[in-house]
């Protein structure tokens, strides 16, 4: 399999996803039946994101920047991919990087995200000169791999690190994202923040689970704008989580804000349960930077009004990563080219 064949197949897959505007109804139904968190809207959002970084111009820019053709693996390695299943198709980017580097992908799919990933793999393979000669192997074991890319929890990350200690690895653990507010946000900006919080039901590592707000912050405008996401309560699993967390806070008489859709609670922890957003107060810029610095190793990305805070993104863009927005800030292509 040559670089050109693999590269062109990804271009064709991107065109296919753009032309079909995502997935057909039967696929969406199968994906939802497998994982009720993967609603039609969220699957289509994920496929739009994949199509975005499979644009021909984008892929050519990546190929030029990383000299993919010149650095194509002369001795392909068996690279294991332990895919997560928290949001639709989340393991696809790792697969893309492995294949664009000329290696063989040994993929263990999450039980929560098999149907969509298999659809993407099968569709991509159809654009190869010989679809049966695919460099992708779906497997339940990582025994044969020579390198590994694994995504999991803090506990599983420790297990992976020990088990694969003698092999080159990228091992990712729990991360989440946060928003920095200054109290001057407009209604439309707060609505955009709602996307960063609620898309994928807040289950992605790029989902905002915590807010840093100035002392004296008025939560009323934010809660009012987030009320526009009231359709979330039509989703049984989200509604059950929200009502459970609300009951816990009430029974324990813990102070919180509640707009009938989501709960706000003052809490230092970055990660919050589904249906809850944590917040922490800051008194000035120095205090804010100190608080964020303490948790920086667990922050995937940050959003802020017009990206005013250093290394932040504008509201509403957290769930639209570019090709080079590598998880945990580790350049997957550089890792693969070093094998």
Per-residue pLDDT tens over the stretch 239-248: 999 999 999 9
Band the pLDDT of 252: cuts 50, 70, 90.
very high
Tokens of 134: 């695919």
* Residue 24 pLDDT greater than 90, yes or no: no
Q: Copy the structure tokens of residue 232.
A: 């979330």
CB–CB of 320/196 below 8 Å? no
Q: Which CATH class is domain 3-174?
A: alpha beta
Nearest to 225 by CA among 277, 164, 158, 153: 277
Domain chopping of the chain, boundaries: 3-174, 176-314
Q: What is the pLDDT of residue 250?
A: 98
pLDDT (average), residues 103-117 = 97
Q: How far apart are CA 286 and CA 266, in angstroms?
A: 20
Give the chain's radius of gyration (CA, Å). 21
CATH number for the region 176-314 comes to 3.40.309.10
Residue 312: predicted pLDDT: 94
Sheet architecture: strand order including 263-266: 257-258, 263-266, 276-282, 208-214, 176-180, 299-304, 313-314
Residue 155 has pLDDT above 90, yes or no: no
Q: What pLDDT score does 298 carry?
A: 95
Q: Which two tokens stand for residue 77?
A: 């390695």
d(CA 300, CA 206): 6
- In the prediction, which pLDDT does 183 show? 96
Give me the phi and psi of 145, to 5 degrees please.
Answer: -75, 155
Instruction: Tell me how far CA of residue 94 lies from CA of 122, 148, 161, 224, in angstroms.
Output: 16, 10, 18, 38
Average confidence (pLDDT) over 145-167: 90
Task: Assign 330 a pLDDT band (cuts: 50, 70, 90).
Answer: very high
For residue 29, pLDDT beyond 90:
yes
Nearest to 120 by CA among 32, 47, 28: 47
DSSP 113: S
SS3 content of the chain, % helix, strand, coil (to 5): 45, 15, 40
pLDDT score at 132: 79
The average pLDDT across 283-295 equals 96
Mean pLDDT calculated for residue range 44-59: 96
Phi-psi region of 27 (alpha: psi -120 to 50; beta: other; left: phi over 0): alpha
* Least confident span in 98-107, 137-146, 149-158, 165-174: 149-158
pLDDT-derived band of residue 156, with 50, 70 and 90 as boundaries?
confident
Average pLDDT estimate for 267-283:
98
User: How far does CA 186 lie from the centroid of its chain?
Assistant: 26
């Amino acid at each position: 399999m040559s670089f050109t064949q693999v590269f062109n197949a990804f271009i064709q897959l991107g065109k296919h996803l753009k032309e079909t505007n995502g997935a057909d109804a039967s696929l969406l139904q199968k994906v939802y039946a497998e994982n009720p968190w993967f609603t039609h809207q969220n699957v289509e959002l994920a496929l739009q994101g994949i199509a975005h970084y499979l644009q021909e111009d984008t892929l050519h820019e990546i190929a030029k920047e990383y000299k993919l053709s010149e650095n194509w693996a002369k001795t392909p390695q068996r690279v294991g991919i332990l895919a997560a299943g928290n949001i639709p198709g989340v393991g696809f980017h790792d697969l893309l990087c492995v294949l664009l580097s000329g290696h063989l992908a040994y993929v263990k799919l999450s039980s929560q995200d098999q149907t969509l990933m298999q659809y993407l793999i099968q569709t991509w393979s159809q654009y190869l000169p010989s679809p049966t000669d695919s460099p992708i192997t779906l497997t339940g074991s990582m025994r044969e791999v020579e390198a590994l890319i694994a995504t999991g929890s803090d506990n599983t990350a420790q297990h992976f690190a020990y088990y694969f200690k003698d092999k080159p690895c990228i091992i990712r653990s729990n991360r989440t994202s946060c928003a920095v507010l200054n109290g001057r946000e407009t209604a439309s900006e707060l609505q955009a923040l709602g996307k960063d919080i609620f898309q994928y039901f807040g289950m992605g590592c790029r989902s905002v689970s915590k807010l840093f707000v100035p002392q004296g912050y008025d939560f009323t405008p934010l809660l009012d704008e987030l009320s526009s996401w009231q359709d979330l309560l039509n989703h049984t699993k989200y509604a059950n989580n929200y009502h459970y967390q609300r009951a816990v806070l009430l029974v324990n008489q813990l102070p919180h804000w509640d707009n009938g859709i989501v709960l706000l609670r003052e809490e230092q922890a970055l990660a919050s349960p589904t249906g809850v957003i944590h917040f922490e107060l800051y008194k000035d810029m120095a205090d804010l930077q100190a608080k964020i610095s303490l948790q920086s190793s667990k922050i995937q990305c940050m959003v802020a009004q017009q990206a005013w805070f250093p290394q932040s993104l504008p509201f509403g863009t957290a769930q639209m990563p570019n090709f080079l927005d590598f998880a945990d800030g580790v350049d997957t292509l550089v890792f693969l080219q070093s094998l």
